[in-house]
Every structure is written in structure tokens, then in C-alpha cells.
Amino acid sequence: MENMINYAKEIEKEGANFYIELALKADNFLTKKLLYMLSKQEIEHLEAIEEFLILGKYQIRYEIKIEDEMKKFFSDIKEKSKIETQLNGYKVALELEKKSYSLYEKFYNSAKNEQEKKLYEFLMNQEKQHLEAIVNVYSYLSETGDWFQKEESKIWNWMNL
């Protein structure tokens, strides 16, 4: 268990650093906002893991949905930002989140007790939300014409300004 927890901490730390680095390089403010939000959430995941290590249990204290944060941001902007030219960062971020999800799923399946399972389930759900956020913003920026034609259940349709 200790190896899995330490590995999870390392993943979250690297994820936070990765998103900060990408955000600093991004030209598009929508991209910056998403990446900084993802970075904050990775740090919150580190806190949850540390709490589990110290207290021996995991409790959901807060669960900020990234979609809610992006929705608030979208309602605050007046016009769409220019299309991001550095879309490769999104592809790398997608791969990172997919790998994290798979790893947490593996850890969940080998967890020794309910508290461990709760922690890994929380982390899996968070990674799922991150994937959804990245896919939606990436699609919005790279496929704007197709964006409006996609099935509403697959996109954040509130992004249609």
C-alpha cells in the first residue's frame, strides 16, 4: 500500500507542475484558466492523500467540480478568445489524465480496505472530470465549427456563447 500511495503522490505532484508549466506557456486565456484550475485540483488531491496517510481514513471534505468553475469563468468573459496555437499541450494532458485514471483504477482494485478504496475512487472520479474538461475545451478551441453540431450530452453545451 505504501508504494501505491507514494506513487499516487508523485503523480499528483507531477500533474500540478505539468499544468503550471503548460499554463505559463499558453497564449489563450481560456487555456490558462483550465490549466491553472487543473493544477489546483492536483494539489487538492495531494492534500487528500496526505490526510489519508496521517489520519488513516479518507473523507470527502470538498468536491469542486471543474465544469462548475469553467461555467463561471465562461459567464464572466465577454468574447471568445483567439484559438490556441499550442493544442499539443491538450493532447499530452489527455494522456496524463488517462494514465492517472488507469493507475488509480488498478490501485482501487488492489486496495486492502474500504478507506483506501474510497480514496482511489475519489481520485478516479477527479481524473474523469479532468478528462471531460480537457476534451471539452480542446474540442471547443480546435473544432469550433463542429462544436455546435455535437450531441449535447457529450459536450458542455453552455459553452455555446
pLDDT tens digits, 113-138: 888 898 899 999 989 988 888 888 88
Q: Global pTM? A: 0.70
Domains and CATH numbers, the chain: 2-159 (1.20.1260.10)
The average confidence (pLDDT) of the chain is 78
pLDDT at site 70: 66
State the average pLDDT over residues 89-118: 89
Whether residue 77 is predicted with pLDDT greater than 50 in this model: the reply is yes
pLDDT tens digits, 41-55: 899 889 888 888 888
Query: DSSP letter string over 87-156?
Result: THHHHHHHHHHHHHHHHHHHHHHT-SSHHHHHHHHHHHHHHHHHHHHHHHHHHHHH-HHHHTTS-GGGS-
